[in-house]
Chains A and B, each alone.
Chain A
Amino acid sequence: MNGFDWNAVGESLPLLLEGFKVTLLATVLGTLVAAVLGLAVAMAGRAPSKFVTVPVRLVTEFVRSTPLLVQLVGAAALFNTVEPLYIGITVLGVHYAAYTSEVYRAGIDGVPKGQWEACRALSLSPRRTWQAVILPQAVRNVLPALGNYAISMFKETPFLAVITVQEMVFEARKYGAEQFAYTEVFTLAGLIFLVASYPTSLLMRKLEKRLGH
């Protein structure tokens, strides 16, 4: 037993924070991809033809039910000339899009039928129907759930270390292996996650209450 080395904490903190920037960047961009792609998938899922909706449903179900880690490692092995960070952001985005599309679907279903009928009565084009009437109402209901997925994506970014993206956990593992100080760096990394994610989830809960969920 060699106890807890406070020097290692002081020494590794700047490294971890440097990696944390990459963690945040991946989370923000990944969330953006998931938010946009999820909406596209949800809208495609409402297409009038079954030849569109059934494959869309199957693919989202498949992506949702298979492990992120396998998707990441597989994508990195297939596209081994692409920068790992881009692969990481894309895979995170696509994986979470499978979840956010369900959220959008529920949000769109939540818009009263009368709104659609009113749009038809006013003979608005499909584009204006979505843009001016349906989406503004749907997205408002969907925001808290999207925020929750952003938080869980944040907690899954350590997976990116496996495909050599130099985010926080990558730095932690490197430092831990060099100095044999795994206890200190992993404890510190865990605390950084806690400090960053807890206030955010409190905020999301407040937002959810305010929007009446």
Chain B
Amino acid sequence: MSDFFSLLVEEFPRVRSGLWVTLQATVLGALLAGVLAFALGLMAGSRLLLARGVSRVVVEFFRGTSLYIQLFWLYYAMPLLTGYELTPVVCGVVAFGLNFGAYGAEVVRGAINSVPRGQYEAAIALNLSPSRRLWKVILPQAWVQMIPSFTNLLIQLLKATPLLWLISAADLMTVIQQLRDRTGETLTAYLTLLVAYFVLAYALTMLMNLLERSAKRRLGLDTGAKGLFKSRSAATTAVGGTR
């Protein structure tokens, strides 16, 4: 066994805590992004011009100014401007949440728009209140449409977490790079790191496939077990533009 792997086993507690930081940033960032995506996406479909305008400006702003710069702005610039400092992981969660929330908002908007007009009309004809119309008729159908795009965004978010290394959070990349520096085995170290991210990405994809299956079942759509192992498809990101 090479030096790198024996050191990896020896330093397992640190590797595990690095993995934990990466997962934490991914999951918390995704939750924040999800909340923002729904808030901004629903606002984009509102009848109020003000709500639509605010949503548009926020979405374009966070989509237009590179994630990298947003993260650095939060980490380096904000403390100078406001005197208020965030820990690296919180910086990451906020930046990931805002950036991917903006992309997610487009997904939510696109999915809601794709629900057939007749469904709205039927809900109105049945005299459902606006909130029941949204919760019971529109969202369950739009949700199924959103999941594949959300899966793509989630993996993009996971792939953005090594940025935490640049703002000195002890994430998975930081830890593995320290092991590389101590053993000098560059190729082994980076391949291990890539494989680790690949496994995480695939695990997250399968979780999202499970979610998609349960969402489809609620609509009474047929779902086979085969769909659980399918990988993501880049071509489906067309909803709301690619990232």
Residues of A within 8 A of B (CB): 1-4, 61-62, 64-71, 73-74, 77-78, 98-99, 102-103, 105-106, 145, 148-149, 152, 155-156, 158-159, 162, 169, 173, 176, 180, 182-183, 186-187, 189-191, 193-194, 197-198, 201, 204-205, 213
Contact = CB atoms under 8 A, between A and B. Distances in A.
Contact of A187 (B77, B161, B163, B232): B77
Contacts of A182: 72, 76-77, 80
Interface residues of B, number: 50
Interface in B134-171: 155, 158-163, 165-166
B238 A169 contact: no
A74 B81 contact: no
B229 interface: no
Contacts of A106: 235
B201 interface: yes
Contact of A74 (B69, B78, B194, B202): B194
Interface of B, helix, strand, loop or mixed by DSSP: helix
- Nearest 5 interchain pairs by C-beta: A74-B190, A102-B234, A182-B76, A158-B68, A190-B65
Given A74-B193, A105-B235, A148 B186 contact: no
Contact of B80 (A2, A159, A173, A190): A2
A145 B237 CA distance: 9
A190 B69 contact: yes
A186 to B, nearest CB: 4
Given A67-B158, A152-B243, A201-B64, 8 more contacts: A65-B155, A74-B190, A77-B186, A78-B186, A156-B68, A158-B69, A187-B77, A190-B66
Interface in B58-96: 60-61, 63-70, 72-73, 76-78, 80-83
Contacts of A99: 234, 242
Contacts of B4: none
A193 B198 contact: no
